[in-house]
Amino acid sequence: MNDVIAGKADGTVEVYPVTMDQAWEIALAVFHWGGCETIEEHRTEGYMLTSTGGSFVTSGSLMGAWIEPEGDSKVKVTVVSKRRVAASIASGLSESSFQSRFAQAVDIIKSGANLPLQPPAPVE
């Protein structure tokens, strides 16, 4: 996890038109949708850490998401994903797939719906 925290500066960053509370809820949902294990929340510091288990394709990954205010009613979301085993080809939930799912969840919330427990179909 230290590599994830140290890698924040190199993470994938996007800005979304949601509140801090909404962004926190969305990040938790996206991690759950991605099959993440226990999520370690550091709300006062503005970040969360988690991991995915291995499968026949990947050895799993360690992930972190930082949520920071960005102007009026926007947040900056930085996500970092590191493979558990450096030689592994795939890492499970990637930074780009996290951000895609996050954007999808923003659209769901903005439509007035609640975030589903199960992952929605990916947006093409």
Domain-located, residue 101: yes
Beta strands of the chain (E only): which ranges? 12-16, 40-42, 47-52, 61-69, 75-83
Domain-located, residue 92: yes
Q: What is the mean pLDDT of the chain?
A: 87
Contact assessment for residue 60 and residue 51, using Cβ atoms and an 8 Å cutoff: yes
Angle at 46 between CA 43 and CA 48, to 5 degrees: 70
Contact assessment for residue 108 and residue 120, using Cβ atoms and an 8 Å cutoff: yes
Residue 78, pLDDT score:
97
Residue 124, pLDDT score:
64
Domain encompassing residue 47: 2-110
Contact assessment for residue 105 and residue 23, using Cβ atoms and an 8 Å cutoff: no
Domain-located, residue 65: yes
Domain-located, residue 26: yes
Give the CATH number, domain containing residue 72. Answer: 3.30.310.80
Give the chain's domain count. Answer: 1
pTM beyond 0.85: the answer is yes
Domain-located, residue 97: yes
